[in-house]
């Protein structure tokens, strides 16, 4: 076991420029901010202390987590709340030498409880612009459809997004995976594609390899979120490699949601060895116990990654982003410089 206190890989991770491609902004709500917003908005929450909130973050599957995640976002009511949430995340990202973020938000998680689409997106975008000015972190915003809701609700959400389409890079698909395959949303994804949006979807987190095939063949996605269970199907692995598809893997999330039993079971190294463009991301960092660099460090030690593996993951994060080609190349050159410095 490497001595983590002096492990040179930790210093490499700390200085490597990186992009984060799988981050639910509502999942970055730290308990301290949850309490502050509950107080500011006069909302009662069923916890007496920050410690009690953290103790409740003990999940045995995705649904366990989602129940508490939707409850937690109930403190977000005003535009300023979404601004504060997003700015707090960007400060963490900046500390982790993140140079570019592609963040998700869940509009239906807000509109379903009477908070308008405009309130949520307005605060998030104002913070993303402020973060770009303050930290130089560029961004893309992706709105996700909640897959446990129906197609009609997804179409209504796309209609609400219409005035904001020049500020939204893509649409995604999240929430309870099993029983809600990508094909359920084929038509709304096609409508999003017609509007020039990029398409991503959570697939193969808990759902079977067939859901990943559907995301590729029925939806025609541009990037796969998670994709762990794709490794069960060698023809699917071949397809992912041949298409050059990026997978946004989330190691600490996988551990907390019991997608893997031990961090040593993270598929990231196996994916790299198979030629899959894997990336490392935090998913819902407040709930899963770590931001992006915590995820890099956890797998660097558990999977005994080399410095070259770690730099490959950072390079993949830019290559798999929705940045223009020249910007991708400039970031990848900076990754290489950081590796050899
Ligand atoms: N929403 C927030 N985090 C999620 C995850 N890991 N899977 C599905 N939906 C989510
Ligand atoms: Zn996710």
E strand intervals along 38-113: 98-105
Please give the average pLDDT of every successive group of 10 residues along the chain, which has 341 residues.
Answer: 72 98 98 96 94 94 96 97 98 98 98 98 98 98 98 98 98 97 98 98 98 98 98 98 98 98 98 98 97 98 98 98 98 97 88
Residue found by looking up tokens 């490497």 in the block:
2
What residues does ligand 1 touch, defined as CB less than 6 Å away?
Answer: 24, 27, 62, 69, 174-175, 202, 205, 253, 283-284
| CA-closest residue to ligand 1 atom 9 | 175
Alpha carbon distance 47, 339 (integer Å): 44
* Of 20, 177, 205, 214, catalytic: 205
Please, what are the domains in the chain? 8-340 (3.20.20.140)
Find out whether 277 and 247 touch, Cβ atoms under 8 Å: yes
Rounded Cα–Cα distance for residues 276 and 251 (Å): 16
Q: Determine whether 252 is exposed, middle or buried from the number of CB atoms within 10 Å of its CB (0-12, 13-18, 19+).
A: buried
Separation of alpha carbons 87 and 294, rounded Å: 19
Neighbours of 187 (CB within 10 A): 12
What does the block give as tokens for 127?
């913070």
d(Cα 61, Cα 165) in Å, to the nearest integer? 34
Distance CA 12, CA 297 (A): 10
How many CA within 13 A on the CB side of residue 334?
19
CA 19 – ligand 1 centroid, Å = 19
Strand partners, 20: 101
pLDDT given at position 153 = 98
With beta carbons less than 8 A apart as the criterion, state whether 145 and 171 touch.
yes
Q: What is the model's pLDDT at position 5? A: 62
Active site residue 205: yes
Residue nearest to atom 1 of ligand 1 (CA): 175
3-class secondary-structure state, position 101: strand
């Amino acid at each position: 076991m490497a001595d983590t206190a002096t492990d040179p890989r930790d210093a490499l991770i700390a200085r490597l420029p990186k992009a984060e491609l799988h981050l639910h902004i509502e999942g970055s709500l730290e308990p301290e901010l949850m309490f502050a917003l509950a107080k500011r908005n006069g909302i009662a929450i069923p916890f007496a202390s920050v410690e009690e909130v953290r103790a409740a973050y003990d999940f045995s599957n995705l649904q366990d987590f989602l129940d508490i995640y939707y409850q937690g976002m109930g403190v977000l009511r005003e535009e300023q709340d979404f601004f504060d949430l997003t700015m707090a995340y960007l400060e963490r990202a900046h500390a982790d030498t993140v140079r570019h973020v592609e963040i998700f938000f869940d509009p239906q998680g807000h509109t379903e409880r009477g908070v308008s689409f405009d309130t949520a997106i307005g605060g998030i975008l104002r913070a993303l612009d402020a973060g770009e000015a303050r930290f130089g972190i560029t961004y893309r915003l992706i709105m996700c459809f909640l897959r446990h809701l129906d197609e009609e609700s997804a179409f209504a959400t796309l209609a609400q997004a219409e005035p904001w389409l020049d500020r939204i890079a893509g649409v995604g698909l999240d929430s309870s995976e099993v029983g809600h395959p990508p094909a359920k949303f084929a038509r709304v994804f096609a409508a999003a594609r017609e509007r020039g949006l990029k398409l991503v979807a959570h697939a193969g987190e808990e759902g079977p390899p067939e859901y990943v095939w559907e995301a590729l063949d029925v939806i025609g996605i541009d990037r796969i979120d998670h994709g762990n269970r794709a490794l069960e199907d060698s023809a699917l692995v071949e397809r992912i490699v041949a298409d050059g598809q990026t997978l946004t893997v989330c190691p600490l999330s996988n551990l907390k949601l019991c997608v893997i039993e031990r961090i040593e079971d993270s598929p990231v190294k196996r994916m790299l060895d198979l030629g899959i463009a894997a990336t490392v991301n935090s998913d819902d960092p407040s709930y899963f116990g770590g931001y992006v660099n915590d995820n890099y460090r956890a797998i660097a030690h558990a999977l005994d990654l080399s410095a070259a593996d770690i730099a490959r993951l950072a390079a993949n994060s830019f290559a798999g982003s929705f940045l223009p080609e020249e910007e991708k190349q400039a970031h990848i050159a900076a990754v290489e410089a950081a590796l050899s410095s």
